[in-house]
């Protein structure tokens, strides 16, 4: 460094030093502040600043709680140890120790002896092992030598090695002896020692075991309790080594999330705050035990969030649940930004929209739910020890509280914001859409059934509603074999997968196997003119709910965007009605052959089981399910089951007696797709019911008059639609000549194609001429046949077109306009998506595809001028609630009539809307790998098919299957008169175990009235199922009951003694008293039994050999009838010596088998011939009272 | 929804109204340009302590008072926009500081005194400790400000970008907002590639073009009126003004909003911009046709198809087609081509005789050419802006291959 002369300075350098000092100091402070903010989750009141790490607070809270738990557990362990005699053991140990101290010398000596013996034993063992190895080597050398010298034992080399091996062998034997002696000596010394010390050792062992549990807990407690340890391990920077307050995560690497263009495993950090999520609540026993010993226990389910545990541990999170947290994580179901560690940005979504009282907790500066009041403090708030004064309670929504507590704000760009608890079942759909009856997925199930019945899917494509399972083709599998294996229709598989007629499969290919196919939900309108009248049709279109409160038909007019144009609506309604009647087939229904009796009809409707699917009194729609059936269905399910068919009140206003009679006799002749089964009504029965129903009039509908459709408006709107394709001037002219535009609606589906492709006819005629020419040249017969066929086809088409032309020509001018406008309106509203309508066989549904709606960005949704929260779900709710409301304020000014929204308004309750929202929000674009999706086994596949069928056919409207349904029981059907239980009572009755598959198949296909329970009025209907459909049900029951399938007939012991014993029991137990045998019961022929006694009857046993399975009778039914079918009148006998000591030696099991085998021969020719006269009647065994 | 909250008094409402009107693009740009010219013209009266303080006070006043309006405070208070607000003050201050010193020096030069800097520096600059020390202190203070600011804003890592849901408006970082604003007026290829390159190259070329030693080491305006004036126009009226516009006045849909206007995402503005050729062929020629009935003027806008010549390997057919289309394009865009030819070819010569006479004489031809091309290129921007606002002009020349 050079010496510099003193120079002038531009600044005052000493003052700059001060500046430097000051700025450096402030810099240091700001760095400290930065680290504090980055490190801490606390609150600095003097800066009004929160630290960034909110989660650390929760981990602190959790560890505080966990310390309490540890202390409690340690205490409990101590008490338990004492109960197990720890103190006594310790006493004993001390005593033993005291005794031992007197024998110290002896103990030392013994120990020395043991040590000595161990050394000796060790030495000899080592030597033995070595020499034994040598011997083995010698043996092997000898064998080698022998082989080398061609097995000649005389060669010296061989002899020598043999000697050596023998010598060594002797030596090893000697050593072995020595070793055994040494072992014995060691054992003996040890035994000596044990005699002296044994008790002590055992005690020490036991004490250690008990002590360890306590020590483990207390050590952990001390670790957590020591603020020094905690302070050091959690200090900034060094915390990474072994901090207890730390970032934690679950890597659910089988489940993926889409981050822009990359698919990455989910890394869930939810457990950083939700640390108690997997903590189990104490068992009731534990709770009682602790209460008795005055030890507190932590109820994790009652902790405030985020410390609370998962509410459904048996299904989620728990290690033994089907979705353990360690492999599934959290966000795979809950959504949210998996890697985020702050409250708001992880995507928490508020749920409760209504305001609730909150108070500010002074210690944490957090708003917490206020206890409702002093006395009705509920479980949720018990844990919070907050002093409540009425003054500081603030009413807030959850959102507002979050804004205050966590600076919550909507994360608008998060692709998967967390699902609020209300709709969380939506997530089940992505993996389980093939399954129904999901445990914990009830809302989803309800929603899907509702969507199916409302027909949402028929306008809006929803891939998730197409239920199928995916098969991965293995080597050697072909298409036919696959279809056979799954027992599915090959055409259905082709359609679902888009396969051509000839299918060739490659290994590893995915083939979707349909579980069920959806059917158009609305009735066919092909023959509507024969069923009802135009007047009713117009009223119905105007407002379906006014006529039938539980209808699935939506309302299209009088809504937000067209309520203001009643005249226009009248024209549209009229046009559609005119169209439907104009194109309808017109079969005539003859008058019933017999006179109907309405009174008897009413009785029949109540008795036959119609009420399992229908409702007649509209008040019934609000009725709740009776308490006795609550275990089988909730109110919603009950109403849904009974809405399978339409509400019948007022049906007479719609259809006449002739039509009703024909419909009841055979519903499929009118509407082949109908779900209405045939009840095999006799002429008289059908006439009675038809008369009764025809008399049910809806007075309001009858008296209602609709506004007249005005001619000038009809013209105006017709021109509007003509203008879509024509210039205005031409449209005005065209209205006078609509013939060619409407002809096509009066031809059949095939001929319609000629209208859609106008050049086709000319083309075919050219083709025909070419063929004819070719024939003239070649005289080829095949060509001639082809030509003739084509000619016939052309001729037929021409005839049909001509007929249509004539029909149209014969129509009134107004009718033509109506038919034209009607057809356009049917296109606009998409009526054909649900109904069969002539002329619309090939039309495409009008709705937007919803298969990925759950991932639709909010800004793609048009909220119009409706002031609601700008969220995906709030939009959907609004859409379902008032589908046209997004047009509000836009009508006339900014929207032409044809630009208006057109979705119909369904009559939905808030609850139903929530169910649909759950399903639709679950339809996302998430792509699942085969690992993630739930794969069904072939057996599960068959079970699911059965489950869907049971729902679709509404079997559970009458029967209880898998502990669901039985709605008909709530309609006043007497106990004992209801349809039989099929499966899944709480005690596990299984139809598949009870009946033989062959019988069940026949019965489902063609049930016969009065065979098994002839006294029942309720009638099993004929559904007209195909063999395949019936098989689905039979297989389902068999697999679901884990019964053997296919069925093998049992071996029945036919020895006369055995059957005689059975018969003797049969008579002694008076089985024939209730059971129908030989057409008799209660000692009388069936016909003579008075009405009130009918419920006391039991099934016809003559059918038993065809119907029941022996295994079930022997192992289940005769052993525990009440457990199989609660409320049954079948007594539970105490077989064996208690009831018949002298039959089969009083062996209960043998008696049951004999009885069953006897019953199974009833009705067969092998039945034991002679019947011993019944002894004098004894008191019937006490019959258990039927449960209410 | 943050619709303008009422209840702040008539005065405030009137102030908002005026501010919204003043923010209209053509008005604000004209005012900025005129203001800049006036400021330079009357620099002796403008650049002093009092006006400087007044300017800062007015700016602060407007912003602080304006914060009462929810829409305004939402835009200004947005963490991303805070630097722009700061830039308003910093630009004002820097301009004021430099110009005040320049005015002062100019006055001294008139009085035959050396510039201020010469007097105080005594031909020496103290590097250590004076310069480095205060630079270091300034560095520390800047760090403090940045740290505290980051703490206050919670300097966020934002959510992962979602290509399916882009923010509206989608804005570039603030320092690129000027470029983004240019996209409104130019073909993306120009605004995004050509012009930024020219800007960078032009800035690099300055030392080679500007060989004038005056103003070296001291502030002056009088000695370099034209250079500084052009620079200030390019920097303030174009660059800073466009950043401010892009930040505060461009809302959803890249629509224009006044500073106190609600950013309505559903605002629809009819942006029917037309090319010069539309004016020529459709509007003017039709007018002529109406008057003269000469059929040629009635042919409407000629069609040009997008033909791509295949050069590797050469495909004569495609090249011929391409040339035919080029011919069509030349016919259609002749007015624009003539205009641009005039602008870029004739104007340099004219300027050499008039405004830029002094430069033309001082510089050699190469330097003059570069200078004048940069100068003219820069002025296409205000030209296009003004034409867009006044006659909704889109492009001078619009062919499938080149648009300007």
My answer on whether B128 and B31 are in the same domain is: no
Of B143, B150, B165, nearest to A27 by CB-CB distance is B143
pLDDT at residue B164, rounded to an integer: 67
Q: Which residue of B has its CA nearest to A863?
A: B266
pLDDT tens readout for residues B170-183: 888 888 888 898 99
**Is B130 a domain residue?**
yes
pLDDT at residue A256, rounded to an integer: 83
Q: Which residue of B has its CA nearest to A259?
A: B160
pLDDT at residue A1188, rounded to an integer: 36
d(C-alpha B297, C-alpha B300), whole Å: 7
CB < 8 Å to B148, chain A: 30, 33
| Contact call for B137 and A30, based on CB within 8 A | no
Of A16, A52, A411, nearest to B137 by CB-CB distance is A16
pLDDT at residue A890, rounded to an integer: 76
pLDDT at residue A211, rounded to an integer: 76
pLDDT at residue A1182, rounded to an integer: 41
pLDDT at residue B106, rounded to an integer: 92
My answer on whether B241 and B381 are in the same domain is: no
| Contact call for A20 and B148, based on CB within 8 A | no
Q: Which residue of A has its CA nearest to B167?
A: A413
**Is B76 a domain residue?**
yes
Beta-sheet pairing, A964-965 with A1075-1076: unpaired
pLDDT at residue A618, rounded to an integer: 66
Of B129, B134, B161, nearest to A260 by CB-CB distance is B161
| Contact call for A30 and B160, based on CB within 8 A | no
CB-based contacts of A818: which residues, under 8 Å, 6+ apart? A574, A575, A578, A579, A582, A714
Q: Show the tokens assigned to A1097.
A: 């009857």
Of B136, B148, B160, nearest to A259 by CB-CB distance is B160
pLDDT at residue A7, rounded to an integer: 60
B345 in contact with chain A, both atoms CB, cutoff 8 A: no
My answer on whether B111 and B222 are in the same domain is: yes
Of B137, B151, B159, nearest to A34 by CB-CB distance is B151
Q: Show the tokens assigned to A769.
A: 């001429």
| Contact call for A13 and B133, based on CB within 8 A | yes
Beta-sheet pairing, A394-396 with A1075-1076: unpaired
Best residue in B116, B127, B130 for a mutation probing chain A (most A CBs within 10 Å): B130
Which residue in this structure is represented by tokens 């259905």?
A492
**Is B357 a domain residue?**
yes
CB < 8 Å to A414, chain B: 159, 162
| Contact call for B126 and A10, based on CB within 8 A | yes
My answer on whether B91 and B129 are in the same domain is: no
B134 in contact with chain A, both atoms CB, cutoff 8 A: yes
**Is B167 a domain residue?**
no
B313 in contact with chain A, both atoms CB, cutoff 8 A: no
**Is B196 a domain residue?**
no
Of A7, A13, A857, nearest to B165 by CB-CB distance is A857
ipTM of the complex: 0.77
Of B130, B151, B167, nearest to A11 by CB-CB distance is B130
My answer on whether B303 and B356 are in the same domain is: yes
| H or E, element range at B68 | none
A537 touches A593 (CB < 8 A): no
| H or E, element range at A589 | none
| Contact call for A414 and B159, based on CB within 8 A | yes
My answer on whether B231 and B363 are in the same domain is: no
pLDDT at residue A726, rounded to an integer: 87
Best residue in B120, B122, B124, B133 for a mutation probing chain A (most A CBs within 10 Å): B133
CB < 8 Å to B130, chain A: 9-11, 13
pLDDT at residue A382, rounded to an integer: 45
B168 in contact with chain A, both atoms CB, cutoff 8 A: yes
A1046 cis-preceded (ω within 30 degrees of 0): yes
pLDDT at residue A69, rounded to an integer: 87
Report in angstroms the alpha-carbon separations of A714 from A709, A758, B93.
Answer: 7, 28, 73
B129 cis-preceded (ω within 30 degrees of 0): yes
Of A10, A413, A414, nearest to B130 by CB-CB distance is A10
**Is B99 a domain residue?**
yes
**Is B290 a domain residue?**
yes
| Contact call for A16 and B165, based on CB within 8 A | no
Mean pLDDT by 10 residues, chain A (1188 residues): 58 89 96 90 80 87 87 84 74 72 75 88 90 88 85 84 89 91 90 74 75 78 77 80 84 81 86 90 88 87 87 88 89 89 88 81 77 52 48 84 85 83 90 86 90 92 85 85 85 86 85 86 91 91 88 91 88 93 88 89 89 81 80 86 88 88 91 89 91 89 85 90 88 88 87 86 89 86 87 90 88 89 93 92 89 86 85 91 87 72 90 93 84 82 90 90 86 76 75 88 86 83 88 89 78 81 85 81 79 79 84 85 81 79 80 86 59 40 39
Q: Which residue of B has its CA nearest to A10?
A: B130
| Contact call for A857 and B130, based on CB within 8 A | no
CB hemisphere CA count around A422 (13 angstroms): 15
Q: Which residue, A1092, A1095, A972, A1090, is CA-closest to A603? A: A972
My answer on whether B17 and B69 are in the same domain is: yes
CB-based contacts of A755: which residues, under 8 Å, 6+ apart? A743, A744, A747
pLDDT at residue A987, rounded to an integer: 61
Which residue in this structure is represented by tokens 């002529």?
B288
pLDDT tens readout for residues A605-616: 888 889 889 988
| Contact call for A30 and B148, based on CB within 8 A | yes
Hey, what's the torsion of the CAs at A758, A763, A766, A771, to 10 degrees? -140
CB-based contacts of A195: which residues, under 8 Å, 6+ apart? none
**Long-range contacts of A1076-1084, Cβ-Cβ distance < 8 Å, separation of 24 or more:** A1076/A1014, A1076/A1100, A1076/A1101, A1076/A1102, A1077/A1101, A1077/A1102, A1077/A1162, A1078/A1102
The phi-psi region of residue A563 (left if phi > 0; otherwise alpha if psi is between -120 and 50; otherwise beta) is alpha
The domain in which residue B228 lies consists of 9-115+218-254
Which residues 252-271 on chain B approach chain A with CB closer than 8 angstroms? 265
* A11 min Cα distance to partner chain B (Å): 6
Instruction: Determine the Cα angle at A331 with ends A330 and A334, to 5°.
Output: 90
pLDDT tens readout for residues A964-991: 888 888 887 777 677 887 877 666 788 8
Domains contained in chain B, number = 3
The phi-psi region of residue B126 (left if phi > 0; otherwise alpha if psi is between -120 and 50; otherwise beta) is beta
B252 touches B267 (CB < 8 A): yes
| Contact call for A26 and B160, based on CB within 8 A | no
My answer on whether B41 and B71 are in the same domain is: yes
Q: In chain B, which stretches have pLDDT less than 50?
A: 1-5
CB < 8 Å to B134, chain A: 11, 16
* B268 min Cα distance to partner chain A (Å): 13
My answer on whether B386 and B285 are in the same domain is: yes
Measured CB to CB, residues of chain A less than 8 Å from chain B are: 7-11, 13, 16, 19-20, 23-24, 26-27, 30-31, 33-34, 37, 49, 52, 259-261, 337, 345, 411-415, 855, 857-859
My answer on whether B225 and B326 are in the same domain is: no
**Is B261 a domain residue?**
no
My answer on whether B249 and B372 are in the same domain is: no
| Contact call for B133 and A34, based on CB within 8 A | no
Best residue in A10, A25, A345 for a mutation probing chain B (most B CBs within 10 Å): A10
DSSP H stretches of helix in A554-653? 566-583, 598-608, 635-641
Q: Which residue of B has its CA nearest to A861?
A: B165
Q: Which residue, A251, A291, A249, A295, is CA-closest to A271? A: A249
CB < 8 Å to A13, chain B: 129-130, 133
* B132 min Cα distance to partner chain A (Å): 11
B130 in contact with chain A, both atoms CB, cutoff 8 A: yes
pLDDT tens readout for residues B236-270: 988 899 999 998 899 888 888 999 988 887 788 87
| Contact call for A33 and B159, based on CB within 8 A | no
pLDDT at residue A391, rounded to an integer: 62
pLDDT at residue A1134, rounded to an integer: 79
Q: Is the pTM of this model over 0.95?
A: no
My answer on whether B106 and B139 are in the same domain is: no
Of B140, B150, B163, nearest to A27 by CB-CB distance is B140
* A31 min Cα distance to partner chain B (Å): 7
| Contact call for A859 and B165, based on CB within 8 A | yes
């Amino acid at each position: 460094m050079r010496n510099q002369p003193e120079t002038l300075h531009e600044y005052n350098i000493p003052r700059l030093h001060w500046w430097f000092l000051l700025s450096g100091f402030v810099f240091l402070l700001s760095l400290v502040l930065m680290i504090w903010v980055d490190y801490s989750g606390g609150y600095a009141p003097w800066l009004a600043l929160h630290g960034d790490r909110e989660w650390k607070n929760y981990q602190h809270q959790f560890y505080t709680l966990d310390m309490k738990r540890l202390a409690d557990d340690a205490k409990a362990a101590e008490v338990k140890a004492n109960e197990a005699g720890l103190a006594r053991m310790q006493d004993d140990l001390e005593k033993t120790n005291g005794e031992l101290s007197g024998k110290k010398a002896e103990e030392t000596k013994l120990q020395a002896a043991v040590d000595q013996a161990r050394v000796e034993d060790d030495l000899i063992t080592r030597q033995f092992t070595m020499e034994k190895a040598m011997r083995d080597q010698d043996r092997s050398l000898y064998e080698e030598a022998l082989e080398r010298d061609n097995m000649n034992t005389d060669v010296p080399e061989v002899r020598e090695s043999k000697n050596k091996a023998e010598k060594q062998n002797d030596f090893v034997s000697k050593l072995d002896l020595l070793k055994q002696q040494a072992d014995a000596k060691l054992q003996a010394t040890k035994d000596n020692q044990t005699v002296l010390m044994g008790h002590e050792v055992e005690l020490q062992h036991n004490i250690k075991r008990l002590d360890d549990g306590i020590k483990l807990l207390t050590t952990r407690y001390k670790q957590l309790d020591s603020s020094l340890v905690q302070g050091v391990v959690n200090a900034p920077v060094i915390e990474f080594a072994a901090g207890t307050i730390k970032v934690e995560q679950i890597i659910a690497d089988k489940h993926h999330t889409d981050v822009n263009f990359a698919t990455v495993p989910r890394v869930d950090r939810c457990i950083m705050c939700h640390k108690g999520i997997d903590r189990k609540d104490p068992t009731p026993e534990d709770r009682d035990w602790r209460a008795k010993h005055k030890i507190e226990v932590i109820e994790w389910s009652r902790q405030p969030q985020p410390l609370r545990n998962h509410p459904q541990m048996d299904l989620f999170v728990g290690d033994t649940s089907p979705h353990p947290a360690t492999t599934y994580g959290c966000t795979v179901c809950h959504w949210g930004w998996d890697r985020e560690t702050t409250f708001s940005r992880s995507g928490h979504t508020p749920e409760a929209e209504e305001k609730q009282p909150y108070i500010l907790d002074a210690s944490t500066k957090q708003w917490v739910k206020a206890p409702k009041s002093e006395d009705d403090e509920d479980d949720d708030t018990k844990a919070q020890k907050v002093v409540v004064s009425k003054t500081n309670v603030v009413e807030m929504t959850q959102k507002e509280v979050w804004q205050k507590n966590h600076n919550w704000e909507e994360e608008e760009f998060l692709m998967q914001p967390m699902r609020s608890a209300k709709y969380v079942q939506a997530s089940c759909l992505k993996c389980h859409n093939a399954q129904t009856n999901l445990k914990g997925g009830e809302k989803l199930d309800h929603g899907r059934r509702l969507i199916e019945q409302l027909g949402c899917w028929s306008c809006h494509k929803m891939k998730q509603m197409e239920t199928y399972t995916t098969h991965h083709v293995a080597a050697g599998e072909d298409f036919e074999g696959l279809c056979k294996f799954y027992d599915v229709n090959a055409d259905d598989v082709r359609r679902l997968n888009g396969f051509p007629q000839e299918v060739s499969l490659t290994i590893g290919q995915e083939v979707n196997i349909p579980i069920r196919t959806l059917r158009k939900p609305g009735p066919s309108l092909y023959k509507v003119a024969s069923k009802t009248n135009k007047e009713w049709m117009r009223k119905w279109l105007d407002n379906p709910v006014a006529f039938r409160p539980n209808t699935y038909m939506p309302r299209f007019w009088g809504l937000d965007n067209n309520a203001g144009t009643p005249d226009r609506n009248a024209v549209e309604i009229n046009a559609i009605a005119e169209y439907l009647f104009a194109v309808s087939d017109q079969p005539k229904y003859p008058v019933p052959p017999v006179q109907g009796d309405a009174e008897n009809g009413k009785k029949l409707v109540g008795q036959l089981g119609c009420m399992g699917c229908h409702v007649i009194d509209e008040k019934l729609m609000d009725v709740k399910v009776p308490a006795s059936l609550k275990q089988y269905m909730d109110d919603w399910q009950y109403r849904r089951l009974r809405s399978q068919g339409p509400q019948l009140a007022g049906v007479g206003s719609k259809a006449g007696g002739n039509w009703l009679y024909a419909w009841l006799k055979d519903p499929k002749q009118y509407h082949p797709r109908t779900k209405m089964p045939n009840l095999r009504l006799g002429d008289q029965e059908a006439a009675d019911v038809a008369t009764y129903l025809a008399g049910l009039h809806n007075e309001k509908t009858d008296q209602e008059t609709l506004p007249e459709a005005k001619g000038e408006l009809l013209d105006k709107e017709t021109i509007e639609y003509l203008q879509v394709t024509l210039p205005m001037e031409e449209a005005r002219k065209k209205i006078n000549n609509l013939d060619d535009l409407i002809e096509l609606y009066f031809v059949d589906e095939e001929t319609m194609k000629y209208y859609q492709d106008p050049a086709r006819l000319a083309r075919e005629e050219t083709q025909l001429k070419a063929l004819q020419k070719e024939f003239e040249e070649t005289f080829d017969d095949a060509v001639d046949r082809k030509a003739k066929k084509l000619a016939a086809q052309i001729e037929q088409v021409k005839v049909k077109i001509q007929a249509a032309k004539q029909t149209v020509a014969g129509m009134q001018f107004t009718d033509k306009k109506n038919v034209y406008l009607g057809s356009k309106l049917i296109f606009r509203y998409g009526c054909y998506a649900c109904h069969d309508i002539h002329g619309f066989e090939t039309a495409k549904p009008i709705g937007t595809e919803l298969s990925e709606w759950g991932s639709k960005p909010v800004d793609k949704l048009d909220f119009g001028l409706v002031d609601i929260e700008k969220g995906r779900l709030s939009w959907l709710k609004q859409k379902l609630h008032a589908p046209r409301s997004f047009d509000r304020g836009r009508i006339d000014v900014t929207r032409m009539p044809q630009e208006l929204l057109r979705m119909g308004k369904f009559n939905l309750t808030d609850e139903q809307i929530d169910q649909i929202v759950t399903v639709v929000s679950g339809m996302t674009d998430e792509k699942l790998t085969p690992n993630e999706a739930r794969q069904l086994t072939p057996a599960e596949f068959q079970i699911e098919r059965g489950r869907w069928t049971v729902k679709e056919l509404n079997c559970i409207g009458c029967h209880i299957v898998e502990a669901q349904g039985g709605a008909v029981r709530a309609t006043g059907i007497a106990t004992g008169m209801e349809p039989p239980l099929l499966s899944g009572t709480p005690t596990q009755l299984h139809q598949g175990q009870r009946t033989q598959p062959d019988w069940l198949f026949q019965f489902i296909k063609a049930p016969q009235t009065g065979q098994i329970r002839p006294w029942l009025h309720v009638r099993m209907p004929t559904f007209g199922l195909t063999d395949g459909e019936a098989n689905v049900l039979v297989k389902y029951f068999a697999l679901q009951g884990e019964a053997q399938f296919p069925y093998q007939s049992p071996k029945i012991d036919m020895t006369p003694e055995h059957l005689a014993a059975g018969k003797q029991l049969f008579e002694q137990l008076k089985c024939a008293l209730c059971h129908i045998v030989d057409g008799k019961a209660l000692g009388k022929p069936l016909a003579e039994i008075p009405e009130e006694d009918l419920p006391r009857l039991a099934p016809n046993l003559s059918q038993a050999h065809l119907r029941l399975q022996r295994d079930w009778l022997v192992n289940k039914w005769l052993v525990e009838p009440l457990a199989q079918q609660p409320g049954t009148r079948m007594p539970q006998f105490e077989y064996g010596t208690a009831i018949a000591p002298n039959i089969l030696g009083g062996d209960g099991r043998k008696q049951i088998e004999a009885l069953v085998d006897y019953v199974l021969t009833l009705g067969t020719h092998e039945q034991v011939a002679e019947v011993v006269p019944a002894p004098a009647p004894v008191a019937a065994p006490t019959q258990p009272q039927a449960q209410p | 929804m943050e619709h303008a909250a009422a209840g702040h008094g008539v005065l405030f409402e009137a102030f908002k109204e005026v501010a919204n009107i003043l923010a209209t693009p053509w008005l604000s740009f004209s005012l900025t340009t005129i203001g800049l010219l006036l400021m330079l013209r009357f620099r002796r009266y403008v650049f002093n302590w009092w006006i400087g303080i007044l300017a800062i006070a007015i700016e602060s006043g407007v912003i602080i008072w304006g914060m009462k309006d929810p829409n305004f405070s939402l835009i200004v208070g947005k963490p991303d926009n805070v630097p722009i607000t700061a830039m308003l003050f910093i630009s004002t201050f820097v301009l004021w500081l430099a110009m005040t010193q320049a005015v002062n020096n100019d006055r001294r030069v008139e009085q035959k005194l050396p510039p201020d800097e010469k007097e105080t520096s005594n031909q020496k600059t103290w590097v250590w400790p004076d310069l480095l020390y205060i630079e270091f202190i300034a560095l520390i203070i800047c760090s403090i400000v940045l740290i505290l600011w980051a703490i206050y804003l919670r300097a966020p890592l934002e959510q992962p970008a979602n290509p399916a849901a882009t923010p509206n408006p989608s804005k570039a970082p603030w320092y690129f907002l000027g470029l983004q604003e240019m996209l409104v007026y130019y073909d993306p290829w120009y605004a995004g590639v050509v012009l930024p390159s020219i800007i960078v190259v032009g800035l690099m070329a300055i030392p080679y073009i500007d060989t004038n030693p005056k103003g070296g080491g001291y502030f002056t305006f009088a000695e370099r009126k034209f250079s500084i004036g052009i620079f200030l126009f390019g920097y303030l009226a174009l660059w800073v003004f466009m950043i401010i516009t892009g930040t505060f006045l461009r809302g959803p849909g890249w629509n224009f909003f006044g500073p106190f206007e609600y950013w309505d995402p559903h605002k629809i503005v009819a942006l029917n911009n037309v090319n010069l050729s539309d004016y020529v062929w459709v509007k003017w020629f039709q007018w002529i046709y109406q008057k003269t009935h000469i059929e040629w003027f009635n042919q409407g806008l000629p069609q040009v198809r997008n033909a791509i010549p295949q050069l590797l390997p050469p495909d004569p057919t495609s090249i011929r087609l391409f040339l035919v289309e080029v011919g069509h394009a030349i016919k259609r865009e002749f007015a624009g081509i003539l205009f641009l030819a005039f602008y870029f070819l004739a104007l340099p010569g004219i300027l050499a005789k008039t405004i830029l006479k002094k430069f033309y004489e001082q510089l050699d031809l190469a330097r003059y050419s570069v200078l004048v091309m940069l100068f003219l290129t820069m002025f296409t921007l205000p030209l296009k802006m003004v034409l867009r606002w006044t006659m909704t002009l889109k492009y001078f020349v619009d062919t499938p291959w080149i648009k300007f």
